[in-house]
Structures are given as C-alpha cells and as structure tokens.
Amino acid sequence: MKNRALKRLIYSLSVLLTLLSFFPVTSYGFIKKDTITNNLNKDTVVASTGFKIKTIIIDPGHGGKPSSSTGHFSHGASGEYSSERNVTLAIAFKLQKAIEKDMTDVKAVMTRTTEDDVSFERRAEIANENKGNIFISLHCNSLSDRRVTRRVGTKRHKPVYKTTSVPDRSGKGVLVLVYGLKRTREAENEIKANQVEGDSEMNAGLDPNDPITIILTNEYKRKFRQQSINLANLINNEFVQTDQRPSEGIREQSIYVLCHSAMPSVLVETGYINNPDDEKYLNSEDGQNEIVASIVRALTTYKKEMELVSR
C-alpha cells in the first residue's frame, strides 16, 4: 500500500511539474478587488511553449428566427429601422473575412451564419468543439424605456398624474464585457472538460477529482480570465484611441457564453442601436469596417504578445 501511494504521489508530482512548466507564473499577481489591468506584462500566462493562436470564434449576438431547439425568438435589441440580429451578423461576416486575410494561419469560425437563432449552449459548444483560442461575441447595446410621470389635469380639486414610457436614447458608444465571477463554478466545469481532461495525450488516466486536476483547472481559469481582461483592454483602447469613440469601459457580467467557453472570451457591445447616431454608424459600411479594423488590430497585438511570451 505504501509503495502504491508513493508511486501515485511521484506520478502526480511529475505530471504537475510537467504541466506547470507550461505556465510561467512567476510574479503572477492577484487582481485586487478584481479590477481591470491595463497592461499585458510578465504576469501573463500562456498555455505552452510554442503556443500559436490558430482559431478565433466569432459569435454574432442573438438571431432573428426561432431556434429549432428552443422554439423561441432571441432577436435582441432594435433601433428605429434596424435590429441587433442583422447588424451583428453583418459585422461578424466582415470580421471573419478580415481575420483570415490579415492574420496568418488563423481560422475564424462563426457560431451562426444565418438569421436563425442559436442557443447559448450551442454557441459555447461550437467554440469548444472547434478548440478555439479566443471567443468574441458581438452585440448591440440598448437602453430600456424611461418611466415618466406628468400631471395631466385635476379631479375634485386634486391633481391627476399619468405615467408613461419614453424611449431612452441617451446611450452612446462601446462597452466590453468579461465574464463575472458569480459563474466561476460553470467556468471551472467547462475548463476541466475541455482543457484539463480533454487533453487525453497529456492526462491519460488522470482522475477528474484528483487534486492535480483541480490545480490545473484553477490555473487555466486564472490564465483565461487574465487574458480575457488583457484582450478586452486592447479592443477598448483601439475604439477609444484610434476611432475616438465614447466608451463605457470594461465590465464583468455573468454571461453564459463567456463562462462556458473554455478559452479567453470577451463580449463587445459595438454601440447603442436605439441611439440615432449610433444606429446610423452601426449600419454604415464605414462604421462596420471601422469596428472590424479596430478588433483585428487588437487581436493582432494580442496574438503577437501571446506567442512572444510562449517562446
């Protein structure tokens, strides 16, 4: 029994040392209060020596027709004359073409290519099945109607008030989201299934409940979150500094497709579709091309930095 336990310990330690050698975690700092870091630096962790970004998943938000699996609509936000389902799909097609043209040896995979809705679960499955290295979800933002109360007259010497809904078109600009820590357990499960246990060549015979698996899962989770924040910053900086667009910055939010995609993931709110100026911009060729160019520049920078660190 002692020999068996010793052999297991030696095996576990050897696998751990081998795998953790892929993660240069020296000086890897905890993000205080989970704030957003602005610089990609020596704390960045990469998957392995010679790591290459080969596949980018593009997720056009929502869809226009009922899903065959869910049977209901998910058309998203809408403006005066356009809808999120069509705008995000148009931008996604342009982004796919630009990535495959400008980023050498990178394949861009779409989670939907028609108006048909695709469930959140299926979008994450597509990302993981294609072994994506980056997941980018494209959306259009919108503000809910405001409730306004005004006096409409008098009845029996008392004022009468009426409350109505008024469109709020004050929102403008971009917003970039990373997944919130409230869904950490879901993220861990997807990482364990698609990264740790999924690497059959490296982890053959590794017990999913073994402490070493838990350690590796947490390392991947920390790495992916740090990289998601780094990528979000790069994209946001391109929008603000290059395109001079207003931005609400980077926020965390508990979004299914982000936490269930076992890879660095961001969601880009490309603009407020219910704002007349933003809607015009989002539907124009120049506006869509500018959005795509900014995302591709950010991806190119991110790719170079990730692959440089892994050498």
Residue bearing tokens 């990482």 = 191
Extract the tokens encoding 247. Answer: 């931005």
Extract the tokens encoding 22. Answer: 């892929």
Average pLDDT of span 36-50: 43
Residue bearing tokens 């002692």 = 2
Read off φ and ψ for residue 240, nearest 5 degrees. -80, -50
More confident residue, 69 or 124: 124
More confident residue, 131 or 46: 131
User: Which DSSP category does 262 fall into?
Assistant: S
pLDDT at 99 over 80: yes
- State the DSSP H helix or E strand holding residue 247, giving kind and residue range, or none if neither: strand 247-253
Q: Are 307 and 298 in contact (CB under 8 A)?
A: no
pLDDT at residue number 19: 45
Round the average pLDDT of the chain to a whole number and report it: 77
For the chain, the structural domain boundaries read: 51-142+171-192+219-309
Res. 218 pLDDT band, cuts 50 70 90: low
More confident residue, 274 or 262: 274
pLDDT at residue number 21: 45
Average pLDDT of span 191-220: 54
More confident residue, 253 or 194: 253
Extract the tokens encoding 89. Answer: 């799909």
- State the DSSP H helix or E strand holding residue 261, giving kind and residue range, or none if neither: none
Beta strand spans in 49-167 (E):
55-60, 107-110, 134-141, 146-155, 158-166
| Fold exhibited by the domain 51-142+171-192+219-309 | Aminopeptidase (3.40.630)
More confident residue, 182 or 62: 62
- State the DSSP H helix or E strand holding residue 5, giving kind and residue range, or none if neither: helix 2-20
